[in-house]
């Protein structure tokens, strides 16, 4: 392995050795700041959300490269074989993070003004990308780091909305359930109505363009022989492009909220994230497609994922052309076998570097 490749792998391995769960990214931010300065980034700093930010290159267009520093909880041993690197974040998403950081440094002379950001709390409430989206800095394009593989470009994520449902009834003695309304039974009726709504927004064999409604937390009852008088539940709702959170909330609310007799049901939504799908004909997408063909000799794949990412928040807030790209075995994300193939990681760096150059060529042309 030649020296640049060896240094690239060392950067990744060293970052994996720093445990950085959500809200615990400070040590990794310091490590990345030092690495960025060594690689030629200027104005390296920490912002109000704890993001590490730096700039490299000059000219137009202006490009944001953003990966997230945090991982899900749970330390894992870092190990390297001839083929792969393992450890917490090896897939999600320190290999994309390091790949974008290095690609930016290697494209310093491409004629692009590049801002790199290592963002906080992607696995949490998204405070890092919120800070970046709220800043006045103008960008023409943005690339976010998540694992899919060096020959795959993620152009879409569904939106997300969290709903908290609270159902209250008087409850009563379990020995005479016919005489008392159960908050849990009322909740199951609400769940049935939401399942009907979900079925009405199903696109056959296309989860990306379908609505999904998943109860993730349910709590009811206070004692073994008492009919529950309180049921609290949280739903995770995923939204396809073309269907706004406001529209879905407006349609769901009447199915949930009710006041009949002694039954009370309330719906409390959390902050929504809108769906995003990139224009496949955009310069940014075409630049990455060309880069994959040139660097890997492979036909690039365009991927639409059913989850939600930082790209959604940034694109909807800034109106900027975005995509998500990065190496890593995405199927191992959040597992005890998180991994990235070394060849995939090194290819990802070169594809991203080439794509930046292609973006300049297209902009000038």
Q: What is the pLDDT of residues 49-61, one digit of tens each?
A: 999 999 999 988 9
Give Cα separations from 255 to 177, 187, 191, 249 (angstroms): 25, 11, 9, 10
Average pLDDT over residues 262-273: 93
Whether 110 shows a pLDDT value over 80: the answer reads: yes
Q: What is the pLDDT of residues 193-239, one digit of tens each?
A: 999 999 999 999 999 999 999 999 999 999 999 999 999 999 999 99
User: What's the pTM?
Assistant: 0.91
Confidence of residue 258 (pLDDT cuts 50, 70, 90): confident
Q: What is the pLDDT of residues 70-105, one digit of tens each?
A: 999 999 999 999 999 999 999 999 999 999 999 999
Domain 3-157+275-364: which CATH number of 1.10.3720.10, 2.30.38.10, 3.40.630.10, 3.40.1030.10: 3.40.630.10
Average pLDDT over residues 107-119: 96
Amino acid 35: pLDDT:
98
Catalytic annotation, residues: 70, 122
Cross-strand partners of 232:
166, 219
Which of 323, 316, 308 lies closest to 159 in space, CA to CA? Answer: 308
Whether 178 shows a pLDDT value over 60: the answer reads: yes
Confidence of residue 170 (pLDDT cuts 50, 70, 90): very high
Cβ atoms within 10 Å of 322's Cβ, excluding its own: 28
Which of 342, 286, 356, 309 lies closest to 145 in space, CA to CA? Answer: 309
Average pLDDT over residues 5-24: 97
Whether 8 shows a pLDDT value over 90: the answer reads: yes
Which of 97, 75, 99 lies closest to 87 in space, CA to CA? Answer: 75
Domain ranges for the chain, please list them.
3-157+275-364, 160-269
Which of 249, 165, 251, 254 lies closest to 215 in space, CA to CA? Answer: 165
Amino acid 333: pLDDT:
93
Nearest-angstrom CA–CA distance, 278 and 218: 35
Average pLDDT over residues 38-54: 97
CB 291 within 8 A of CB 153: no
Whether 2 shows a pLDDT value over 90: the answer reads: no
Residues with Cβ < 8 Å from 344, sequence gap 6 or more? 149, 150, 327, 328, 329
Whether 162 shows a pLDDT value over 70: the answer reads: yes
Amino acid 1: pLDDT:
63
Amino acid 137: pLDDT:
82
Confidence of residue 3 (pLDDT cuts 50, 70, 90): confident
Domain 160-269: which CATH number of 1.20.1260.10, 3.30.70.360, 3.40.50.300, 2.60.40.10: 3.30.70.360
Q: What is the pLDDT of residues 322-362, one digit of tens each?
A: 999 999 999 999 999 999 999 999 999 999 999 999 999 88
Residue with tokens 């749970």: 74
Crossing angle of the two packed helices 183-200 and 245-256, in degrees rounded to 10: 140
Interstrand relation of 152-157 and 276-277 (parallel, antiparallel or unpaired): antiparallel
Q: Which residues of 170-209 are buried (b: 16+ CB within 10 A; e: fewer)?
A: ebbeeeeeeebbbbbbbbeebbeebeeebeebeeeeeebb
As a whole-number percent, the residues of the chain with pLDDT over 70 amount to 99
Amino acid 365: pLDDT:
55
Q: What is the pLDDT of residues 134-149, one digit of tens each?
A: 997 889 999 999 999 9
Q: What is the pLDDT of residues 269-301, one digit of tens each?
A: 999 999 999 999 999 999 999 999 999 999 999
């Amino acid at each position: 392995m030649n020296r640049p490749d060896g240094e690239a792998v060392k950067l990744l391995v060293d970052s994996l050795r720093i445990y950085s769960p959500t809200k615990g990214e400070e040590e990794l931010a310091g490590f990345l700041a030092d690495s960025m300065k060594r690689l030629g980034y200027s104005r390296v700093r920490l912002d109000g959300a704890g993001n590490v930010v730096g700039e490299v290159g000059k000219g137009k267009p202006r490009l944001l490269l953003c990966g997230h520093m945090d991982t899900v909880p749970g330390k894992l041993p870092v190990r390297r074989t001839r083929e792969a690197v393992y450890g917490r974040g090896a897939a999600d998403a320190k290999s994309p993070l390091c790949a974008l950081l290095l690609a930016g440094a290697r494209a310093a002379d491409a004629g692009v003004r590049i801002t790199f950001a290592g963002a906080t709390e992607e696995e949490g409430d998204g405070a890092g990308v919120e800070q970046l989206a709220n800043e006045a800095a103008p960008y023409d394009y943005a690339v976010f780091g998540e694992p899919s593989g060096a020959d795959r470009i993620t152009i879409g994520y569904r939106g997300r909305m969290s709903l908290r449902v609270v159902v209250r009834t008087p409850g009563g003695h379990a020995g005479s359930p016919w005489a008392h309304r159960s908050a849990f039974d009322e909740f199951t009726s609400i769940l049935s109505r939401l399942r009907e709504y979900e079925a009405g927004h199903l696109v056959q064999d296309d989860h990306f363009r379908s609505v999904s409604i998943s109860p993730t937390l349910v709590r009811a009852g206070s004692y073994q022989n008492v009919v529950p008088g309180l049921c609290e539940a949280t739903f995770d709702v995923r939204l396809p492009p073309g269907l706004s959170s406001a529209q879905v909330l407006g349609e769901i609310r009447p199915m949930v909220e009710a006041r009949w007799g002694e039954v009370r049901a309330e719906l409390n939504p959390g902050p929504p994230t809108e769906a995003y799908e990139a224009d496949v004909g955009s310069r940014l997408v075409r630049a990455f497609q060309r880069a994959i063909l040139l660097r890997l000799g492979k036909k690039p794949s365009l991927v639409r994922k059913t989850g939600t990412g930082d790209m959604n928040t940034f694109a909807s807030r800034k109106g900027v052309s975005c995509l998500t790209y990065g190496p890593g075995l995405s199927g191992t994300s959040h597992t005890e076998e998180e991994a990235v193939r070394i060849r995939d990681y090194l290819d990802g760096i070169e594809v991203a570097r080439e794509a930046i150059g292609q973006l300049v060529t297209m902009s000038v042309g």
